Amino acid sequence: MSFDDTLDPALRSWLESANAADTDFPIQNLPFGRFRLAGETASAWRIGVAIGDQVLDLRRAGLIEHGDMARLMSASASVADRRALRRAISAGLREGSAQRATFSEALLPQAAVQMGLPCEIGDYTDFYTGIHHATTVGKLFRPEAPLLPNYKWVPIGYHGRASSIVASGQDFHRPLGQVKAADAEAPVLRPSGRLDYELELGIVMARPNALGEPVPMAAAEDHVFGLTLLNDWSARDLQAWEYQPLGPFLSKNFASTVSPWIVTLEALQPFRAPPERPAGDPLPLPYLDSPYNREAGAIDITLEVWLQTAAMRRAGLAAQRLSTSNYRDAYWTLAQLVAHHTVNGCNLRSGDLLGTGTLSGPQPDQAGSLLELSLGGQQPVTLANGEQRRFLEDGDSVILRAYCERDGHRRIGFGECIGTVLPARQLEGAT
């Protein structure tokens, strides 16, 4: 793997907040997102890049001529174009840059802007790449055979609902749906009592492929713009009743929360790693294999889940970390997801989102969902303030965080992905 000068760990910015050791957004990161100012219309999204505690308005900085993220991602369809824009942004933000005065006028405090979805999401596919999540959940329902026979051969996924994907910070109502108790003769309509979070990453597509044209492994990552944090909220009791024979429906499509910043694959290059599989597992079929994927298909990203209850907020208590895991433990790489998604000729488009599925680690305390942490609700999680959680309650806020760090390279982060559960809406006939 080769690194260009935008990844130099010694590189510093004239913006001091970008040089802080604990910032998610040093000059080596430069993630993309959309923002607007207070009072601006819903259609007035601007494209920005996070740097320290500021956001750089790319249009005001003279780097682009529009505010259309889909257009930018399409224009960045080639790796060369994408890297050229990254180099231009990096050059203007470096210490000693002749563009400092121009770029300074294009900076706004992140705290003073409203962030939205990082792009308009056209289609959404959710995969199931977390083998430790799949195994733990499988043991709850199929102790004798936790993993189905196809898991180690094919990246399992389903098509989700793009219209209910919301930006970080947007609250959502507890979903209603049919629930059937094991000893009941008939289901009832009621608010979900087993609401859960799912710690995931989102893969944002840039370069489209034509209908009928599979994307080979060697070119798969050229089609990806970058990664975001994704919380794919799940209503476990609705899911248990509805998911056979066609899979999730109302248990998944009520809300999914995405973080505002897309961290590009260029920024993640220093944190690549070879994917690992247990000895004896089958090798991927040839269309899911490549020399580069074997060498560096995985990415070392530390992932965290934090919870702040309504009682904690009232008492002035900060959120509590529930678990930590790592994207390296995923069974399938992002290139394999793209290659498999398109091998039948499916056409992906700029702005499409692929979810990784819940990313849990091998240890019980590395679970990416409450379903796992509480063992299906049998073993409640006790918080530092004495509260307990089997599943989420109204007023709970879930915060996802992620970062990459490695000796010899600058630490970079993803920001936060935050959502708060509101009470269910009243509906006639619900219990």
Which residues define the annotated binding site?
A: 126, 128, 142, 198, 200, 232, 239, 243, 252, 256, 358
**End-to-end Cα, the chain, rounded Å:** 58
Q: In this structure, what token pair is assigned to residue 274?
A: 């070879």
19: left (phi over 0), alpha (psi -120 to 50) or beta: alpha
For residue 13, what is the DSSP state?
B
Please name which of 158, 6, 140 lies closest in space to residue 82, comparing C-alpha atoms. 6
Q: In this structure, what token pair is assigned to residue 426?
A: 């009243």
- Read out DSSP for 375-390? TTTTSPEEPTTS-EES
Contact predicate 308/204, CB 8 Å: no
Q: Which of 66, 132, 133, 340 is catalytic?
A: 133
- Read out DSSP for 313-331? HHTTPPPEEEEEEEGGG-S
301: left (phi over 0), alpha (psi -120 to 50) or beta: beta
Parallel/antiparallel/unpaired status of strands 298-299 and 272-273: antiparallel
Please indicate whether residue 340 is annotated as part of the active site. no
* Distance between CA atoms of residues 407 and 192, nearest Å: 45
Please name which of 276, 232, 237, 272 lies closest in space to residue 252, comparing C-alpha atoms. 232
Helix, strand or coil, per DSSP, at residue 323: strand
Cis peptide, bond prior to residue 245, ω within 30 of zero = yes
**Annotated binding-site residue numbers for Ca(2+):** 126, 198, 200, 232
Beta bridge pairs of residue 54: 51, 109
* Distance between CA atoms of residues 356 and 333, nearest Å: 9
**Annotated binding-site residue numbers for Mg(2+):** 232, 252, 256
Look at the chain and count its residues: 431
Q: What are phi and psi of 355, to 5 degrees?
A: -90, 145
Q: In this structure, what token pair is assigned to residue 283?
A: 């090798």
Contact predicate 333/275, CB 8 Å: yes
Catalytic site residues? 133
